[in-house]
Chains A and B, each alone.
Chain A
Amino acid sequence: MPSAGIETKLWVWQRASAAVLGLCVIVHLILIIIAVQGGLSAGEIISRVSGNVAWLMFYSVFVIAVAVHAPIGVRTILNEMTGLKTSQTYLVMAVLCLVILSMGFRTVIGLYNAGGV
């Protein structure tokens, strides 16, 4: 049985990250629709984002907010809908958080530095 204190903290983190993501997802959806208009290619993506500090800052915040939000949500589903032990649900949450952070920052920093910046 998860402790009430931890559950409350996770609820707060889930809602705080959701508030950040609310703005991030609106901007992301607009950027997606603008970006796909001319067709996507590796060169087009790199020329658009490489060396763009505003892009780097925005997607860094986005990755952090997703790395907080998604694992807590997945843990809630596992906790409510599967027979996994509480400790196992925390493990899945932590692993997913690390996967999103590592893959996300590898991609964001890699694209920022791509093109010889």
Chain B
Amino acid sequence: MKPRAHRNHAHYWAFVLHRVSGLLLALFIPVHFYVLGMAIESATRLDGFLSWTNTPLVKLAETMLVVLLAAHLTGGLRLMALEFFGTRESSKTAVAIGTGIALVVGLTFLLNVR
């Protein structure tokens, strides 16, 4: 067995995606609250920040965050289904469906954001 053969598997990459998305979301949450908090202190300040976000690069970053949130959701649902219902047989399909749903949610956001 090659040393890294265990990584060449959908479940390994699903584990990596769940962990990385979870960590990035945990880091993002305080930033999200800070930005929303601007609306309480000064509407002008939040509007200034929102106009700064009105660039393709920031929209892409926002879309990535939405994809990460949706991927963490579907990954978590898959994990709990595996733990509580033992749906191992179809788990590889669940990884594909979950990733697909996350990308669709991201695309829906991108098509709707202004």
Chain A interface residues toward B at CB < 8 A = 15, 18-19, 21-22, 25-26, 28-29, 32-33, 36-43, 45-46, 66, 70-71, 73-74, 77, 96, 99-100, 103-104, 106-107, 110-111, 114
Given A70-B22, A74-B26, A110-B37 in contact, is the A33-B83 Cβ separation under 8 Å?
no
- Tell me whether A36 and B109 are in contact (CB under 8 A): yes
Given A73-B22, A74-B23 in contact, is the A22-B76 Cβ separation under 8 Å?
yes
Interface residues of B in 1-53 (CB under 8 A from A): 19, 22-23, 25-26, 29-30, 33-34, 36-40, 43-44, 46-47, 50
Taking the closest CB of chain B, its distance from the CB of A59, in whole angstroms, is 10
A19–B108 alpha-carbon span in the complex (Å): 24
A72–B39 alpha-carbon span in the complex (Å): 30
- Tell me whether A111 and B33 are in contact (CB under 8 A): no
Contact of B23 among A28, A32, A77 (CB under 8 A): A77
Q: Which residue of A lies closest to B114 (CB)?
A: A39
- Tell me whether B29 and A70 are in contact (CB under 8 A): yes
A103–B47 alpha-carbon span in the complex (Å): 20
A36–B76 alpha-carbon span in the complex (Å): 26
- Tell me whether A25 and B73 are in contact (CB under 8 A): yes
